């Protein structure tokens, strides 16, 4: 019984708090988002160009240590490119779809 009364008091307090609508500053938000997207796309393009340069190199003239350094560089670039993506697991995707179907 105590839990029920505590729950009811908490919900009443939540409904008593006034909701104040906030207006977002759309101009500064849009410019900051576009500038970060431009920077990320430029960095991504640079990394992809470097991978293309490495693939086009004549590696037969390189010794073992130089080839190893190139492999490490390609792996680090690939890891960096993979970390920039957004990954959603299959279970999360199913839950999102079910919620969308139920709510809409």
Tens of pLDDT, residues 40-77: 778 888 988 999 999 998 888 989 999 999 999 999 99
Q: Report yes or no on 18 lying in a domain.
A: no
The pLDDT of residue 19: 61
Q: Report yes or no on 51 lying in a domain.
A: yes
Q: Report yes or no on 30 lying in a domain.
A: no
Q: What is the mean pLDDT of residues 66-91?
A: 84
Q: Report yes or no on 50 lying in a domain.
A: yes
Q: Report yes or no on 2 lying in a domain.
A: no
**What are the backbone dihedrals phi and psi of residue 63, each rounded to the nearest 5 degrees, phi first?**
-85, 180
Q: Report yes or no on 61 lying in a domain.
A: yes
Domain ranges, residue 56: 45-86
Residue burial 66-92, b: 16+ Cβ < 10 Å; e: rest: eeeeeeeeeeebeeeeeeeeeeeeeee
Q: Report yes or no on 72 lying in a domain.
A: yes
Contacts of 57 (CB under 8 A, 6+ apart): 70
Q: What is the mean pLDDT of residues 2-31?
A: 68
Domain count, the chain: 1
Query: If you compute the radius of gyration of the chain from its CA atoms, what whole number of angstroms results?
Result: 26
The pLDDT of residue 27: 59
Helix axes 26-56, 64-83, angle to 10 degrees: 150
Q: Token pair of 89, please?
A: 């697991």
The dihedral through the CA atoms of 43, 48, 49, 55 has a sign that is positive
Q: Report yes or no on 95 lying in a domain.
A: no
Task: Name the residue with higher pLDDT: 88 or 104.
Answer: 104
């Amino acid at each position: 019984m105590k839990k029920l009364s505590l729950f009811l008091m908490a919900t009443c307090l939540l409904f008593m708090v006034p909701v104040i609508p906030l207006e977002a500053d759309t101009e500064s938000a849009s410019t900051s988002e576009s500038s970060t997207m431009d920077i990320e796309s430029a960095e991504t393009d640079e990394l992809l160009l470097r991978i293309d340069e490495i693939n086009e190199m004549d590696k037969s003239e390189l010794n073992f240590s130089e080839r190893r350094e190139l492999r490490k560089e390609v792996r680090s670039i690939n890891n960096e490119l993979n970390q920039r993506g957004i990954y959603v697991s299959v279970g999360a995707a199913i839950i999102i779809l079910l919620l969308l179907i139920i709510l809409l």
